[in-house]
Structure 1
């Protein structure tokens, strides 16, 4: 057979160079929708909103659930509800567009290809975000996928989901809540001081890791990485230079302000509770 008569089986992995960044509020919203789902629903799916950053990263900032019914061989989406919700979000924040869709569960399921095909008509190269609300690996695993086409000559045969890098960065206040969300059993919610203590412990652990890495590079046990070195340099340079006494005073002043706010908020809650009880008693009498 001549070379020109051969049919080539090929992938088109152009979308696999993408990466995604998801904000914690999206994860919290997905978990809330899963808790509020209908009794017969095994999973929740919905639309992801965000934007494309200049470096090509898909920035996922918002989401909403879409009612659906699915069986072993078909999936039915409420398309009208999806479009109405998107139009409502556009009125509030016109910069957020559809960037993909999400589903709860571990990994990609059988009906995911059908749903992904629908969102591919809404936006080019949609991102599929999965959140494991079943804690199969002991925590809520979060992954992002894109679809890679498999073609035989000019005919498309199938689509394969390919995992892409996912960045889940958050501030410390969000991380305290996210760490609680990842656990299967929670004894009690930490108060503000306990959350601050946990943040300080993580910060000290990061300092120890940086010290160990720098020592290993200096001693020749680890090959140096210029990108890590520049990141450490920029981090150290961003710290304001001040005497230890000034730093201690600044920290203590901020801590006292924080405790004062907690005290005032507690007084406010107590006053509102007393006012509500007095109002109820006056209506009864």
Structure 2
């Protein structure tokens, strides 16, 4: 199994990691415009891989797949885990597995290419620098996504970084990791699940009605905020912003227009469809259970 081996601790100490937040004045100008957009399925896949990790593994790493948008934003849409081993003096990656998995993914969706890598845990380390060097050979300017599955600061914080080398002449002094803006793209159902993952304590899992109630409450809160803003602008208490006005206008015009009766009918039809699915699934489970018992009885006879 071909592996990428990291240098020993003695040589690793010559190339430390410098980690700067997105607001740091030391950030490079090239990284100022960089940003990342991550789909919810990527976060869920990373959390699932962490739960299924080998018993001796402290973290999991893997490859990020997606595309680079025209404005330079890295859009992450998929991921897969890459087996690796870590110890005090080395880091090893299964390069063959990585290449085979990427080839398989590329056949299914040729538009998704390697855009970086992920790791579970809080922040970056010297070992992360070595892994990032490998992915820098796979793709130009990869991003590094970290998911704090250990709830170091009380929640599952997610951060994205890009890296550059700080050198003095021909000698590399350090790896400069710069945090970049991160946009988590989630539907309302995904947000409900992500809120559960972020919390360390959860009394019960919400059902569909709980999720719908939470979504409606958030919608009412946003609607009230819009009403207050519009009233303040009309009364002259707040200066008008054309961008906000156009955004509100586009949002209102994008809503379908139908009467209250039509909405009630649509809602009731949806409820009936869901109940029909529940009934059919229950009926299917009953038939399977009866078939298993009949098969067992026939074998005994």
Shorter-chain TM range is 0.7 to 0.9
Q: Which runs of 5+ in 1 are unaligned?
A: 1-9
Pairwise CA distance, 1:181: 2.0
**Is 1:271 matched up with 2:290?**
no
**1:91 aligned residue (84, 93, 107):** 107
Pairwise CA distance, 1:158: 2.2
- Shift in alpha-carbon separation, 1:164–1:245, aligned structure 2, 3 A: same
Matches of 1:88 and 1:279, distance apart in 2: 40
**Is 1:144 matched up with 2:160?**
yes
**Higher deviation after alignment, 238-247 or 118-127:** 238-247
Matches of 1:130 and 1:246, distance apart in 2: 46
Contact 1:12 1:150 in 2 (8 A): no
Deviations 1:135-167 (CA, angstroms, capped at 9, x unpaired): 122221111111133233565432211111111
Q: Secondary structure at the match of 1:108?
A: coil
Contact 1:72 1:111 in 2 (8 A): no
Contact 2:66 2:114 in 1 (8 A): yes
Aligned positions of 1:27-176 closer than 5 A: 27-152=43-168, 156-176=172-192
Contact 2:41 2:77 in 1 (8 A): yes
Deviations 1:104-155 (CA, angstroms, capped at 9, x unpaired): 0111123111111110110011010000101122221111111133233565
Contact 2:31 2:180 in 1 (8 A): no
Contact 1:125 1:147 in 2 (8 A): yes
Matches of 2:127 and 2:239, distance apart in 1: 45
Contact 1:16 1:146 in 2 (8 A): no
- Shift in alpha-carbon separation, 1:134–1:218, aligned structure 2, 3 A: farther
- Shift in alpha-carbon separation, 1:98–1:167, aligned structure 2, 3 A: same
Q: TM-score, normalised by structure 1?
A: 0.87
Contact 2:161 2:178 in 1 (8 A): yes
Q: Which runs of 5+ in 2 are unaligned?
A: 1-25
**Is 1:177 matched up with 2:182?**
no
Q: TM-score, normalised by structure 2?
A: 0.83
Matches of 1:215 and 1:208, distance apart in 2: 11
**Higher deviation after alignment, 64-73 or 149-158:** 149-158
**Higher deviation after alignment, 227-236 or 113-122:** 227-236
Matches of 2:286 and 2:202, distance apart in 1: 27
Contact 2:33 2:72 in 1 (8 A): no
**Is 1:20 matched up with 2:32?**
no
Task: Show the counterpart of 1:209.
Answer: 225
**Higher deviation after alignment, 264-273 or 112-121:** 264-273
Q: CA RMSD in A?
A: 2.3
Contact 1:19 1:166 in 2 (8 A): yes
